[in-house]
Amino acid sequence: MKKLKVDFDEIQKAMEDVVRDSFDYFLDLETGEIMSLSEDVLSVMKSNLHEDEYDEIGDDIEYIEFDEEPELPEWMEDEMEMIMEILFNEERYVRIPERQSGEAYITMKNFSETLSDHRLKEKLSAALNGKGAFARFKSVLIDYPKERKRWHGYNAKAMKKAIIDWLGSLGVKIEQTYLKRKKEGAGYVREIDL
C-alpha cells in the first residue's frame, strides 16, 4: 500500500459538494494535493476531445490537437494545462467522489440518537422525514449552537472514516493526517497522527 499525506478537511469539503455544478475535485496520488477544477473548463475540454484520443496521446499532452480550437475566456486558459494533465494521467489523479446521501442521512440519524435533549431529538427526527431533510436538519441546529458544534465534530469523524475507507480502496494508506483551522482571530491549528 502506498502511504500519502492528505488534508481530510479538503477531501471532506470536496465530498460534501454533491451538486458539482461549479467545480469538480481530484486527488493527486503522488502529492496528496486536492485539485479543484472549473466545471465550465472541464466540459469544454471533454466536448472537444474524443475518448479514443486519450489512449493515443499518453503523457504527451503538448501535442494534443482539437477538432476545433475551443474559444475560451482568458481565465479558463490558465486551467487548461492542469485539466489536460489530469484527464490524461488517470493513474496519478483520481476524482474525489460525492458523499452518498444515504451515508449522510445515517450519520444525521445516528447523531440524533446521541442527544439527551428530547425536544431537540424530536425536532431533528421530524426534520429527517421526507424530501429536503438535509437542509431542515441543519436549520434546526442553528438554534442550538452547542449541539451544532458537536454535530460538526460528529460528522467530521464519520467523514474521516469514509475517506480512509475510500483511500484504502485505492491502495492508499494515510501516512499522517492533518486537520487545519487557520489561526485567524480565535482559530487554532492542530495536527493528528494516525
- Cβ proximity of 144 and 111 under 8 Å: no
Domain ranges for the chain, please list them.
19-95, 101-178
pLDDT digits (tens, 9 = 90+) for 113-165: 999 999 999 999 999 999 999 999 999 999 999 999 999 999 999 999 999 99
Q: What are phi and psi of 49, to 5 degrees?
A: -115, 140
The 10s digit of each residue's pLDDT in 78-107 is 677 788 888 889 899 999 999 998 999 999
pLDDT tens per residue, range 49-85: 655 554 454 444 444 455 556 666 676 666 777 888 8
| pLDDT score for 183 | 46
Residues 82 and 76: their CA atoms lie apart, in Å, by 11
**pLDDT one-digit tens code per residue, 12-46:** 999 999 988 889 999 999 999 999 988 877 777 77
Cα gap 14→18, rounded to integer Å: 8
Phi-psi region of 82 (alpha: psi -120 to 50; beta: other; left: phi over 0): alpha
